[in-house]
Amino acid sequence: MSTNISTKIDIQKIAKSRISEVDFENLVFGSTFTDHMFECDFVDGEWQTPKIRPYQPLVMEPSSKVFHYGQAVFEGMKAYKDEDGKVFLFRPDQNQKRINISAKRLAIPEFPEEYFMDGLITLMKMDHEWIKPGEGNSLYIRPFVMATEPGVVASRSNNYKFMIICSPVKPYYKGEVKVEIAQKFSRAADGGVGYAKAAGNYGAQFYPTKLAIEKGYQQVIWTDASTHSFLEEAGTMNVFFRVNDTLLTAPISDRILDGVTRKSLIQIAKDQGIPVEERRVTVKEIVAAAQDGTLKEIFGAGTAAVISPIIAFAYDEIEYDLPKLENSYAQQLKKYVTDIQYNRSEDPYGWRFEVKI
């Protein structure tokens, strides 16, 4: 990967930036967008010349396949600014590869690596003023692809639109998170699309999550679809359990999203001497560990929050509280990752990617 742009991109700049209208102190996550968006259409069997133009509504046929069959995948990544105004992405190659893994599962053509990286870098250069320095401030980046061919016949689309839109965000804090372990509904099944960031995976979670919220839980911990006895993901995050001093997390499979945060945390934890086990984690062992006091922490891991500590979980209508720890793994690991992201520490893994403005 390099920051030299080799892709031809048709650029139309906004006449006047909207940035002065934005209250950066009171941003609602993912609801304000930067001046520009990246767009590239797949027609006649190939990706056309990419464009960057002012962020604006799209005009689409009501029969576009994405509206009827949900043929769409997305990514979530962030850009960070250090105190000197340098801009960084975190492991963008991982998101570039993953959107094509997701696309393949949904029969969407792969998006060329250099279009993805060059589009992203050009957009960052154009909209870098929307990235604010300071702990927790970042630019949330949403690449996505959708089926645009008109026609309600239920078959794979011939046309697609790939886009990148960007949203400035504040630190992601959801308050104290309590979760409910799924005993009826499922997020993903063997042979399904759980490992893909497919739009429909999220739509399908909203109803079970709504039921959990009505009971006072913010998220659902998803279990395996066939037996509901293995713990797999927390809402839209990967999930980690600390029993005694060992971290446990489910292994990657076709039901688990291969999170960039997850794999980064595993690497850091191992290198910091924390024992990590990637294996199937049973509901039974976690309930038993909660009862005998060996369960120390549960946290979700994902780009939006890096780590989201969980304070309690419910199973069989019984609520189990987690202890409040000083210097938890969640705090230590979050600091390690964010220090790399914000250029406050060495980057022994080469995960930081500077976008030269």
Smallest gap, in angstroms, from Cβ of residue 116 to ligand PLP?
A: 15
Query: Is residue 238 involved in binding ligand PLP (CB under 6 A)?
Result: yes
Smallest gap, in angstroms, from Cβ of residue 75 to ligand PLP?
A: 8
Smallest gap, in angstroms, from Cβ of residue 144 to ligand PLP?
A: 12
Smallest gap, in angstroms, from Cβ of residue 219 to ligand PLP?
A: 11
- DSSP secondary structure, 70-128, as one string: --EEE--EEEEE-TT--EEEESHHHHHHHHHHHHHHTTPPPPPHHHHHHHHHHHHHHHG
Query: Is residue 78 involved in binding ligand PLP (CB under 6 A)?
Result: no
The phi and psi torsions of 78 (rounded to 5 degrees) equal -140, 155
Query: Which of these ranges, 81-89, 164-172, 229-237, 343-351, lies near ligand PLP under the rule CB under 6 A?
Result: 229-237
Binding test (CB under 6 A) with ligand PLP, winner from 197, 255, 296, 352: 197
Query: Is residue 257 involved in binding ligand PLP (CB under 6 A)?
Result: yes
Query: Is residue 303 involved in binding ligand PLP (CB under 6 A)?
Result: yes
Which token pair is 246? 């060992």
Query: Is residue 233 involved in binding ligand PLP (CB under 6 A)?
Result: yes
Longest dimension (CA), the chain: 63
Which token pair is 312? 């309690």
Q: Which is nearer to ligand PLP, 65 or 197 (CB)?
A: 197
CA-based nearest residue to 356, from 83, 8, 87, 2: 87
Binding test (CB under 6 A) with ligand PLP, winner from 102, 148, 223, 236: 236
The number of CA neighbours under 13 Å toward the Cβ of 217 is: 27
Which 8-state DSSP code applies to residue 134?
S
The residue ranges that bind ligand PLP (CB under 6 A) are 76, 197, 233, 236-238, 257, 259-262, 302-303
